[in-house]
Structure 1
Amino acid sequence: MTDEPVKPRLRVLFWCLAVVLGALHVWAHRNDLNPDSVSYIEMAEAAVRSSWHALASAYWSPLYPTLLSVSFRILHPSMYWEFTVVHVVNFVVYLADLFCFEFFLRELLAARRTEIGSQGDLRPVPEKVFWIWGYLLFTWSNQFWLRPQQVNPDIIVA
Structure 2
Amino acid sequence: MFNRSKFKPKMASKYLVSKWKSDTKSSISMLDLYDQYREWITDNATGCELELAAFAKKISEVYPDAIIKDGTVRGITPKTPRVFAPPPIKSQLERDVERLLSIFGHFYPNIEYRGFTVRQVLSELRPDEPQITEEQLTDYLEKSELFFQHPEKKYWLREWRG
TM over 0.5: no
Higher radius of gyration, 1 or 2 = 2
The structure showing larger relative contact order (alpha-carbon pairs under 8 Å, at least 6 residues apart) is 1
Higher strand share: 2
- Name the structure with the higher helix share: 1
TM-score by length of 1: 0.23
